[in-house]
Each structure stands twice: as C-alpha cells, then as structure tokens.
Amino acid sequence: MNVVLFYNELFTILFTLMAGAVIALDRVKKTAKEEGTAKTVDEITSGQKKISRETYVLLGMLFVAFILRAWKFGAIPEGMNQDGAMAAVDAKALADYATDRFGTFLPTHFTAWGYGQMSVLLSYCMVPFIKLFGLSVITARIPILIASMFGLVALYGIAKKLYGTRAAYVTLAFAVCNPWHFIQSRWALDCNLFPHVLLISIWLLIKGLDGKKRWLYFSMVGFALCMYCYGIAFYTVPVFLLGMAGYLLVKRILKWREVLSCIAVYALVSWPIYLTMMINAFKWNTIRTFFCTMPYFPKSVRSRDILFFSDDKLVQLIKNIQSLKTIYVSGDTLPWNTVQGFGVITKCFLPFVLVGVYACIRRVQSEENSIKKAGCVGALLFFAIGNLSGLITANVNVNRVNVLHYALLLMAGLGIDFAVSYLNKRALLILLAYGIMSVLFVNVYFTEHAKTLRNNFYAEFLEAVRIAGDEKQTDCKQIVITPDTQYAGSANVSEILTLFALSVDAKFFQGKALDQYGQSYHEKFQYGYVVTEDMDSNLPIAYVIRTAHLGEQGMDLLKANGFVIKKTKGNGDYCVVIPRERYFGK
C-alpha cells in the first residue's frame, strides 16, 4: 500500500498544479479559436462512418468494464453481506409468494431489521433471476451489475450531450476502472441501485429536451422509481426536479403543460412510497391494496439519520461536513465501500473535478444552444444535490452519499477533457497516472483486499451453516447456531444469513408450514450459545459454533463424547459440530 500512497500523493501534487494552470490559462485567453476547437471536437464523429467507429469504441470500453466487473463475479467478495442477504431473502419470498419474508403482500418498503427499514426496488429486480435460477450469491448480485453497466451508458450519453464525443470517451474511460463504481457493482446493497437509476433518469431527461418529448415522461418514471431505491432520494430527487423545472420554465424550454404532465407521471408512480412515509410520520395504520401494501413500522428510527431531526443540528452539521470531506479525499474505512489508498475516484484526480465544475459554469455562461446550456445546469445541480445529501445525512459514509459519486465521475471526466485542450501531449501524464492507479487498484482488490472482504462478508459462517443444513452430509433435525457474527450476540444477523445460506422457505419461516420432520421453523433453528458439557451426541442436533469459543480443550471433549468437528476453510473461524453417527460426509 506504500506504493499506492506514493503515487497518489505524487500525482495529486502534479494534477493540482495542472488544474490551476488550466483554469488560469482559460481565464486569460478566451479566443474564438478555442470555441472553434470545441466545435470541431463535437463534429469529429459526424457522418455514418464516424458514427460506426464511435459505436465500436463505446462497445469496446463497455466490454472491458463488464469483464472487469464480471471476473470472479460471485466469488469475490466471497460470502454475502447481511443487508444483501436480507434483500435476497425477501426477493425469494416475493418470487415464491408475492410477499416479503414476513408475509406482507408486495410491500412498498421492507420491514428489514424492524428498527431500520430497507428500500424494495433492488429486491424486486432480483425476483426474475431468483425465479429462474434459484437463490444464490450470483442471482442476488446480477441486478446491480446490470444497473451499473446501464449507468456507464448513461454517463457516456450525458457527457456527449454536454461536451461532445471526446468528452464522452474520456468520461467513460475514467469510469471503467473507477474504484467506487467497480466495488459497488460486485455486491448487492439496496441503496446502491439509487445512483444508477437517478443517472439514467437524468440522461433520459436530457434526451427528452433535445429530441422526442416522450423521453421526458420515461425520465419521470425513473425519477419516481428512485424513491423506492433509497431514503436519501426524498430530499435529493425533488430538489433536483424542482430546480430543473424552474429553470426550464423560466428559459421557456418547456411549457407549463409539459411540466404538469411530467409531475403527473412522477406522482402516478411514486405516490405509494410517499404515502408510506406519511403513514409512518403520522403513525397511521398499514394500508393494503390489490397491488401493494404501504406498511407502518412502529419501531422505526430512520428519521434520526436526517440532520433536521437530530438533537443538536449545528454539531451534527459540523460532523457531516467533516465526514463529507473525508469521503472526498479517502472514502471511508468500510472495506465493502473503499479500498484504502484509492477512495471514491482516487485522490489524485480530485483537482479535475474542480476543472469540470468550472467548465460547466463556463458553458452555462457562453453556450448559445439552450439545450446544452440546460444540460450543464442539470449537471451542476446534480453535483449540488450530491453534496447536499452529504451535509444532511448523519454519519455519512460512501454508500450513504452514493448519489454524489456519479457527479464526481462526470465532473472529473469533463475536467480532464477540458484540460486536454490546453495540455496537449502533457495530458499523457493523466493517462499514465490512470493506468498506474488502475493496475494497482485491481491488483489490491483481487488479492489482499479479497481476503479482507471474505471476513466481512461472513464466508466462513455461511459455509458452516450450509454444512450443518446439508442433508447429504447429516441427518440432524435441528441446528443450533451461534449469534456471534457481525458482533457478539447479533442473532438477527446470524438468522438472516442462515435464511440466505439454506434458502429457507418464507412460509416455513412464518410458521405456516412444517419441515419433513413435522417441525416448525423455531423448532428447527435456534440462535444462541451452548454449553459444551450439555451437548448430547445422541440427539439429532448440529451446532454452528465460533471455533474460538470451543478452544482445543472443548474440541477434545466433544470428540471424546461422540461428535465430529468440521472446521471451515480459510481461517477456520467457525466449526460445525455433528453427532458422529449422523454425519455422512468425509
């Protein structure tokens, strides 16, 4: 990692000086020749032959991006995050019975942990894959991978609309091996669907302004679906839409009739989730309709995550500013969000974000094409709401402020493209830095960081549960499972990981069905600690235990009392204790 830090700091210094020089040169020299150069860039791909070449280049970059994200997909990260497992378990219930795992019919918001709820759209996207191929790590993660690829297409499309084909190439190439985009595309977290849906919606909005108006209404469907992706959407998406609507009306790009039609489409799709929020704000009863359920959550604590509801708003705001600054520079300390030393877009490229913001502001001031000017206003507003989310959201980390990251990618890409016009061959230094940091990042992610993720994604716990529940290896009727997974005594995390690992049927979980032995769910699965001396090898019970809790003395005692002990691969953090006569494995 020392090599990473060295190159990061070196390029940060060089690019900061470079960015300052580019802005200074542009302020001093705004000639007609420069404007002509920008026009030439836009015209490079004119003609059918050039368009064909552009398509090949686009597909080539997308292919590279896909291969990087699909390489060892499902194996790295090995295991499953608890929130991803929960989204997948609820998706399986939806696929089987059109309910969540608790039996709620087509909910607009999931009960999740009870005290903290979960957005539903990612789980609904998992349903067709789970229905066709069953519940697995891969079927749970595929929707985010697909959404990430469409997000890259949208990023390319927006950059092209704003600054031309070269800018689109640069921006997409910059995103191909971007740390944040790469990491989030390889695991399933409900809130990480939000930035993709929002960016695609912005792209459709710009297409609607510059072409057929039907794209405007498709974009409104996308903006409305954002509300089912993540709670932050409630105080970012409406701000973006209101800002854009005001600008487009003032500049007479859209008419009131068109804006009201857009509002109607947005409201038609989003009203169930808005009503759900009102039900929980005013403590109304759950409402069930023929097409969805809008539930009330009596134990919800999510409102505390918002600055306006904190006890000391000024202190919380200061903390939020500090956290947002940290995310800009280094990401966070959570290994599932950040590879240390690389951050969200890699620290050394941050100066070009400033150049990109400058370039957009300049385009707004000088651009004669009202649609391109509106697109740049939208890009700046997108960047603004990303930062706003960081200021409003408490304890912000990379995934909580994920609406910001595409804006950073867009601004950095536009900034690099803008700088290239002044740097000429010196711009090759940027390409060199990108190549070095990308190779270092991919190497670290697939080697030492993969080992870290294995522990954080409970790979060994899931392995132990699967061994205990595998009828080909044991005929034990009951399983006693340690509550020590995410932290000591986290029985709810152990339970959700068990439901995922063994693909437990929702009706069985709800107590509405029995297993082949006539047992209920709570008879078959118990989550708690066991005393070694009380374990009886004559009983058909398998145990999943932290190896450290047994110790060598405990394992020797169990072996002497007629048990087989199977340690998990890797560190052997967990072991499965099975009566010898009931174990069929090797």
Q: Are 59 and 156 in a shared domain?
A: yes
pLDDT in tens, 453-485: 999 999 999 999 999 999 888 889 999 999 999
Among the residue ranges 37-41, 253-257, 522-526, 570-574, the one predicted with the least confidence is 37-41
Give the tens place of pLDDT for each residue, 382-398.
Answer: 999 999 999 988 878 99
Residue 118 β-bridge partners: 110
pLDDT confidence of 37, banded at 50, 70, 90? very low
pLDDT digits (tens, 9 = 90+) for 191-241: 999 999 999 999 999 999 987 889 999 999 999 999 999 999 999 999 999
Q: Which residues of 508-546 are buried (b: 16+ CB within 10 A; e: fewer)?
A: bbbeeeeeeeeeebeebbebeebebeebebeeebbbbbb
Higher pLDDT, 323 or 266: 266
pLDDT at position 46, please?
45
| Position 293 in a domain | no
Give the distance, in angstroms, between the CA of residue 476 and the centroid of all CA atoms in the same chain.
38
Rounded to an integer, what distance in angstroms lies between the CA atom of residue 390 and that of residue 564? Answer: 51
Residue 46 belongs to some domain of the structure: yes
* Residue 232 located in a structural domain: yes
Whether the CB-CB separation of 514 and 546 falls below 8 Å is answered with: no
Cis check: omega of the bond before 77, within 30 degrees of 0: yes
Per-residue model confidence (pLDDT) at position 299? 76
Q: How far apart are CA 135 and CA 125, in angstroms?
A: 13
Of 18-27, 86-95, 125-134, 491-500, the one with minimum mean pLDDT is: 18-27
Final residue before a domain boundary, out of 449, 476, 504 = 449
pLDDT at 401 over 50: yes
Please give the single-letter amino acid code of residue 5: L
Burial class (CB in 10 A: 0-12, 13-18, 19+), 578: buried
Residues 534 and 568 in one domain: yes
Please check whether residues 444 and 508 belong to one and the same domain.
Answer: no
Gap between the Cα atoms of 89 and 74, Å rounded? 17
Are 59 and 101 within one domain? yes
For the cut 50, the answer to whether the pLDDT of residue 444 exceeds it is yes
DSSP state of 477: S
Count of CB atoms situated within 10 Å of the CB of 322: 11
Q: Are residues 418 and 481 in the same domain?
A: no
**Angle formed at CA 117 by CA 116 and CA 119, multiple of 5 degrees:** 145
Tell me whether residue 291 is in a domain. no
Looking at the fold, whether 67 and 191 belong to one and the same domain comes out as: yes
pLDDT at residue 305 in the model: 63
Q: What element of type H or E holds 364?
A: helix 350-366
For residue 300, give the amino acid letter: S
Instruction: State whether 375 and 519 are in the same domain.
Output: no
Q: Mean pLDDT across the stretch 503-518? A: 95
pLDDT value for 48: 54
Same domain, 536 and 482: yes
> pLDDT tens, 271-329?
999 999 999 989 999 999 999 999 999 876 555 566 666 667 788 888 889 989 999 99
Residues 546 and 420 in one domain: no
- Flag whether pLDDT at 178 surpasses 80: yes
Q: Domain range spanning residue 523?
A: 458-582
pLDDT of 41 over the 80 cut: no
pLDDT exceeds cutoff 80 at 47: no
- Measured CA to CA, the distance from residue 276 to residue 98 in angstroms comes to 19
Q: Which bin fits 334, alpha (ψ -120 to 50), beta or left (φ > 0)?
A: beta
Please state the length of the chain.
586
Q: How far is CA 250 from CA 124, 254, 374, 381, in A?
A: 38, 9, 11, 16
Alpha-carbon gap, residue 147 to 143, rounded angstroms: 6
Using pLDDT thresholds of 50, 70 and 90, give the confidence band for residue 509.
very high
Q: Domain for residue 370, yes or no?
A: yes
Say whether both 44 and 132 belong to one domain: yes
Residue 557: band (very low, low, confident or very high) from pLDDT cuts 50, 70, 90:
very high
Overall number of domains in the chain = 2
Mean pLDDT score, 336-342: 93
Separation between Cα atoms, residue 128 and residue 74, nearest integer Å: 18
Number of other CB atoms surrounding residue 38 within 10 Å: 19
pLDDT at 71: 95
- Alpha helix (H) residue ranges in 29-71: 32-43, 48-70
Among 420, 449, 478, the domain boundary falls at 449
> Please, are residues 301 and 313 in contact by the beta-carbon 8 Å criterion?
no
Q: Quick one: pLDDT at residue 368?
A: 85
Predicted pLDDT at 304: 59
The C-alpha atoms of residue 43 and residue 370 are separated, in whole angstroms, by 18
For the domain that residue 503 is a member of, what is the CATH number? 3.40.190
Q: Give just the sign of the alpha carbon dihedral 257, 262, 267, 268.
A: positive
Q: Percent helix, strand, coil in the chain (nearest 5)?
A: 65, 5, 30
Mean pLDDT of the chain: 90
